């Protein structure tokens, strides 16, 4: 271990924890999360005691570098974790995921000394992120950041936020955008995440930064949508290719994993109803014995399995491309990042199809307020309206153009 490593090393809470043990903890929490869905929606985020259980279980440290107290598991492990939490409560899955996945950005893009400051003395780190811009200007001691950012999913338990800022034109040129990290004591979270159709408990509040002063190294000129592997420094800091790669596809995969968890939860609820409810027309058999409903359930299950295969393949490609670039081979380009993301959005379309089929045939009682199936449908409806899913045709077009060697004017930040 180098002297620099020793200076920054934060002990890992459970050094021998395995990925399977981590996932088992999430599976064990599913019944509790399911029972508290309505409460989570009313609060607009999961409870403090749930947050403490997540901390104790090590969930927030899944992608975090071991040097700074994390488990440094692969993105495939994180996607499995997200699915299980969302299967218990979609809102909780969303709030957790968008608060904990951005540790990958920080570990990849920021200098080691800045990371050491951000992860702090104990390594607990949660960081909501948003790509719309505020402003950053140089002042004595660092940067002055101002602005308001909406849709900061995961902000209720964030120790920091990672937000886009317009950089000074005289220094960086016209329309230059960077990313700033702001600690929780320098921003205000608004209680404005109410009145939504779905994802009511996702903690997607707005945040106001009214003149935060942050150190020089807490602003990076690397923007989320414009990353080539050569621009990341985290791989060398942590000796892990996962921190030397673009992050756009990872964000897409986390969202698809949430949708995967929603449909798995809907399948659970649907199967329960199949064995407890009877048809409303002769021969008044259990729904489980009806051939048409058997077909609907079987098709939704196979479509969901296909979407899961897409997620797992995406994680495999991500690590493969990252390792190849890290070892000096073909770089992990924005084209590759987009190709994975576009594949994942197609997986999301499969999950939307499965949810529609289940809701359409679940019976009128499933549409009542307070039922889980109605909640899953509402949550999936909001998911499918996320900007990432709305742009799926555009991404498909750009992906096709790039793979054909035609780089259009969208550039690497067009997605």
Q: Assess contact for 345 and 388: CB atoms under 8 A.
A: yes
The answer to whether the CB of 229 falls within 8 A of the CB of 246 is yes
Q: What are phi and psi of 66, to 5 degrees?
A: -65, -30
DSSP 219: E
Token pair belonging to 205: 């509040």
Looking at residue 39, the DSSP 8-state letter turns out to be: H
Residue with structure tokens 């899944």? 62
Per-residue confidence (pLDDT) for residue 398, from 0 to 100? 81
pLDDT at position 411, please?
A: 45
Confidence at residue 392, expressed as pLDDT on a 0 to 100 scale:
66
Query: What are the chain's domains?
Result: 3-107 (1.10.540.10), 126-224 (2.40.110.10), 245-403 (1.20.140.10)
pLDDT for position 399: 82
pLDDT at residue 405 in the model: 83
Reading the block at residue 380, the tokens are 């999936």
Low-confidence ranges of the chain (pLDDT < 50): 1, 409-415
The DSSP secondary structure of 271-313, one letter per residue, reads HHHHHH-B-SSTT--BGGG-HHHHHHHHHHHHHHHHHHHHHHH
Q: What is the mean pLDDT of the chain?
A: 92
The per-residue pLDDT for 397 is 83
How confident is the model at residue 396, as a pLDDT? 80
């Amino acid at each position: 271990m180098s002297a620099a490593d020793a200076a920054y090393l934060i002990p890992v809470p459970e050094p021998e924890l395995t990925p399977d043990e981590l996932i088992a903890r999430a599976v064990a929490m599913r019944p509790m999360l399911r029972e508290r869905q309505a409460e989570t929606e009313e609060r607009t985020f999961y409870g403090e005691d749930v947050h403490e259980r997540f901390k104790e279980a090590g969930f927030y440290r899944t992608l975090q570098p071991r040097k700074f107290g994390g488990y440094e598991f692969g993105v495939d492990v994180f996607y499995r974790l997200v699915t299980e939490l969302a299967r218990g409560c979609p809102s909780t899955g969303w709030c957790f995921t968008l608060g904990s996945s951005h540790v990958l950005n920080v570990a990849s893009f920021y200098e080691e000394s800045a990371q050491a400051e951000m992860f702090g003395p104990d390594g607990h780190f949660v960081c909501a992120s948003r790509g719309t811009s505020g402003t950053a200007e140089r002042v004595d001691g660092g940067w002055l950041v101002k602005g308001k950012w909406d849709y900061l999913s995961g902000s209720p338990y964030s120790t920091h936020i990672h937000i886009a800022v317009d950089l000074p034109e005289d220094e960086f040129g016209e329309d230059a955008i960077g990313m700033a990290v702001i600690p929780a004591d320098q921003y205000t979270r608004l209680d404005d995440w109410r009145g939504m159709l779905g994802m009511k408990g996702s903690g997607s509040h707005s945040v106001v930064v009214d003149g935060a002063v942050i150190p020089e190294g807490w602003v990076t000129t690397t923007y989320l949508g414009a990353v080539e592997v050569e621009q990341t420094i985290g791989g060398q800091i942590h000796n892990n290719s996962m921190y030397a790669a673009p992050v756009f596809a990872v964000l897409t995969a986390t969202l698809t994993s949430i949708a995967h968890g929603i449909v798995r939860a809907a399948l659970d609820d649907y199967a329960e109803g199949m064995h407890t409810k009877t048809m409303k027309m002769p021969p008044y058999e259990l729904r489980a014995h009806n051939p048409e409903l058997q077909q609907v359930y079987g098709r939704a299950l196979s479509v969901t399995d296909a979407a899961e295969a897409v997620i797992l393949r995406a994680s495999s490609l991500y690590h493969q491309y990252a390792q190849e670039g890290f070892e000096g081979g073909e770089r992990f380009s924005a084209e590759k990042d987009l190709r994975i993301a576009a594949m994942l959005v197609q997986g999301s379309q499969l999950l939307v199809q499965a949810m529609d089929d289940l809701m359409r045939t679940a019976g009128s009682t499933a549409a009542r307020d307070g039922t889980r199936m109605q909640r899953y449908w509402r949550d999936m409806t909001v998911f499918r309206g996320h900007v990432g899913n709305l742009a799926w045709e555009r991404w498909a077009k750009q992906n096709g153009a790039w793979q054909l060697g035609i780089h259009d004017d969208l550039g690497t930040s067009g997605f």
